[in-house]
Amino acid sequence: MTSSRARTAPPLFVAVAFLAACGGGEPAQDASPPESAAPAQGFFGTAPAAVAAAPSIVMLRPTGAAVTLPPRESPRMDQLGLAFTPGTLLVRVGETVHFTNSETIAHNVNVMFSDNDSTVLDYDTDPAGATDHAFDREGGYEVTCALHPGMRAFIYVTSAPYATFAQNNGAFRIGDVPPGSYTLSIWSVDPAQRSERALEVTGPSTEVTP
């Protein structure tokens, strides 16, 4: 069994965006200018920009009662077209990721914990092969294929009920966050960019400033 030690951050990102709907019909000919668009909805703002193409992760944890998330299907990551799909994946602590190989050539799944470069999975996937791995430690994980160094992906594991990947420029948005007291955590592959602070979500539209 082989493994790759080359560490290059994945080029892709995933961001969760919720946009406000704008209403109203056409104004009369002599009417005053139309009203401005409704304010952006959800919890939004700017996190640190991507570092080496790896986006920041924004997480919200309520300081009161815990949030119970509904069950969902196990997350999946496929190998197809000499690429991991999706290129970024947000996983809950304790979930099992199902890795598959949908190609007619052999691949490898090598998963390393970003903070200390420790390998948590190194598995050769034959065509139509698959393997599962349970992620029980919060943090970032780099995913590579030892047989094809250009194949890279990124997984982040979180216990926060509200979380998203920021865009490369740091912009982010999370929808449907109830008003209340929260702890805001920002994670980046650069430890100097990580932060945590308390904040209040005050309504359907709450902006966070750096």
| pLDDT for the residue 170 | 93
Give the integer Cα–Cα distance in Å for 47 and 56. 7
Within-domain flag for 35 = no
pLDDT at 98 over 50: yes
Structure confidence at residue 64 as a pLDDT band (50, 70, 90): confident
Average pLDDT of the chain is: 82
Distances (CA, A) of 40 to 48, 72, 178, 206: 20, 28, 15, 8
pLDDT at 110 over 70: yes
Whether 143 and 204 map to the same domain: the answer is: no
Are 121 and 146 in contact by the 8 Å Cβ rule? The answer is: no
DSSP class of 191: G
Whether 82 and 137 map to the same domain: the answer is: yes
CATH of the domain at 125: 2.60.40.420
Whether 102 and 174 map to the same domain: the answer is: no
Buried/exposed code over 149-173 (b: 16+ C-beta within 10 A; e: otherwise) = eebbbbbbbbebbbbbbbbbebebb
Tokens standing for 55? 């986006």
Structure confidence at residue 41 as a pLDDT band (50, 70, 90): low
Within-domain flag for 2 = no
Within-domain flag for 86 = yes
